[in-house]
Amino acid sequence: MKSDQALLEIKNYGLLNNEQDEELNELVEIVSILCDVPIALITITDEDNQYFIARKGLNMERVALEDSFCKYTLESDKPLFTVKNALEHDDFKTNKYVVGEPNVRFYTGAALITPGGTKIGTLCLLDYQERELSAEKSKIIELTAKRVVKVLERRKQIVSQSKQIEVDQQRLRHLTDNAPGALFQLNFHHDEDRYEFSFVSAGISRLHPALSPKHLKSDPFLLADLIHNADRESFQNSIGAAIRDFRPWNKEFRLITNEGSIWVRGVAVPRRHENTTEWYGLFENINYLKEYQLTLEGIAFDISHGLRRPVSNLLGLVDLFEDGRMSKTDNVNFKTYVKEVSQELEKFTHQLNKTYSQKHEDLQKKIGQIEPEKDGPTVE
């Protein structure tokens, strides 16, 4: 039974995927030539099977562990486990691969031992005839087995790095997909006078239903086609000026939708690379900012015009009062006027507060509607 540690090591090396490794196949080719044997294998074992992850002179991909010569190599404490003639060896003379194809007679194997001391497989050589190995060839096999482990160690690092890269990519994809607005990279190729979106995040589809990363990457002018006629020329001029002067781009414009239009802000910073200027930026919905601006302007207008008449009346009454020429009747009328103006002011301020509280609530709802989705579509 294979130990849990050995199985874990095999998993960490990214083996048992039936892929032939070019470097490992070169090693078995070399050791086969140097030792003058027809069959050379690099094997990995699990609980039940032995897999040939590199092979020379044998077309099989695996054998049952119970029929394997290599299980004895893994159990041995010697640098090499060797069988000169399998027909004369009690453990192998009835083996299916000895009495039948490929009629193995000679076997020698060195365990593949990880830096942690775990045996995960073997480097083994087989022949159809009895033979003995010289000390020099035995040393070649031992050194080659150590080289195989170094190759596997390097492969494990690559597998580990690939997994980390995949995790980082998934994290980055999640960040870009769920970032407010749409992140993008726009390239301008100066020698070809050509624009190209090399990256657009999934947020572009939330910004406008007619836009998607795939569509913009195939047709960068699709965005410009959706811009409001009143904003299109200034939009194009702003991009041209930013490219010409090599400076950050910042532009507010409207995109036409089926329901009307939405305000969008585009910001980007440039980076020059040979004959290409790369723009890294963001498109964001700023409808709520525009509505907030209009709300503030409305408040200012209402205060300016709504309060003008009652305040003017109050000032006139104060002037009359200060003259000291009020009769008793005028005094009564003065109090009445003050009360009426005060009630008018109170009514006005109450209505003003109600109106803008409702506007504030509507604005907050709209802000909530443009928050990024938790599980948006993937980046293309």
pLDDT tens digits, 209-245: 889 999 999 898 899 899 999 999 999 999 989 988 9
- Check whether residue 59 and residue 154 sit in a common domain: yes
Q: Which two tokens stand for residue 199?
A: 């990256």
Average pLDDT value for residue range 322-341: 67
Q: Tokens 């365990």 correspond to what residue? A: 111
Q: Which two tokens stand for residue 287?
A: 């409808």
User: Rounded distance, CA 132 to CA 138, Å?
Assistant: 10
The pLDDT confidence band at residue 364, using thresholds 50, 70 and 90, is low
**Which of residues 358 and 138 earns the better pLDDT score?**
138
**Which of residues 309 and 148 earns the better pLDDT score?**
148
Q: Which residues contact 208 (CB under 8 A, 6 or more apart)?
A: 226, 255, 257, 262
pLDDT digit string (tens) for 236-282? 999 989 988 999 999 999 999 888 889 999 999 999 888 899 999 99
- Given a cut of 80, whether residue 204 has pLDDT beyond it is yes
User: Rounded distance, CA 247 to CA 275, Å?
Assistant: 16
- Check whether residue 39 and residue 153 sit in a common domain: yes
CATH number of the domain that residue 139 is part of: 3.30.450.40
- Check whether residue 156 and residue 23 sit in a common domain: yes
* Range scoring the smallest mean pLDDT among 111-125, 186-200, 302-316: 302-316
User: 174-178 contacts: CB < 8 A, separation 24 or more?
Assistant: 176/201, 176/202, 176/203, 176/379, 177/201, 177/202, 177/203, 177/372, 177/376, 177/377, 177/378, 177/379, 178/203, 178/372, 178/373, 178/374, 178/376
Provide the pLDDT for residue 377.
Answer: 37
CATH number of the domain that residue 280 is part of: 3.30.450.20
175 assigned to some structural domain = no
**Which of residues 91 and 314 earns the better pLDDT score?**
91
- Check whether residue 107 and residue 125 sit in a common domain: yes
- Given a cut of 70, whether residue 9 has pLDDT beyond it is no
* φ/ψ (deg, to 5) at 226: -95, -5
Provide the pLDDT for residue 115.
Answer: 87
375 assigned to some structural domain = no
- Given a cut of 50, whether residue 375 has pLDDT beyond it is no
- Check whether residue 197 and residue 280 sit in a common domain: yes
- Which of 231, 250, 285 finishes a domain? 285
- Check whether residue 30 and residue 127 sit in a common domain: yes
Which letter, b or e, does each residue of 194-214 get, where b requires 16 or more Cβ atoms within 10 Å of its Cβ?
eebbebbbbbbbbbbebbbbe
**Residue among 79, 91, 161 at smallest CA distance from 119:** 79
- Given a cut of 70, whether residue 85 has pLDDT beyond it is yes
Average pLDDT, the chain: 82
379 assigned to some structural domain = no
- Given a cut of 90, whether residue 57 has pLDDT beyond it is yes
- Given a cut of 70, whether residue 131 has pLDDT beyond it is yes
Percent of the chain with pLDDT over 90: 43
Q: Which domain holds residue 260?
A: 181-285
380 assigned to some structural domain = no
User: Rounded distance, CA 199 to CA 212, Å?
Assistant: 11
176 assigned to some structural domain = no
The pLDDT confidence band at residue 305, using thresholds 50, 70 and 90, is low
- Check whether residue 159 and residue 216 sit in a common domain: no
Average pLDDT value for residue range 3-23: 65
- Check whether residue 279 and residue 296 sit in a common domain: no
- Check whether residue 51 and residue 66 sit in a common domain: yes
* Greatest mean pLDDT range, 12-26, 102-116, 323-337: 102-116
User: Rounded distance, CA 298 to CA 307, Å?
Assistant: 13
- Check whether residue 343 and residue 250 sit in a common domain: no
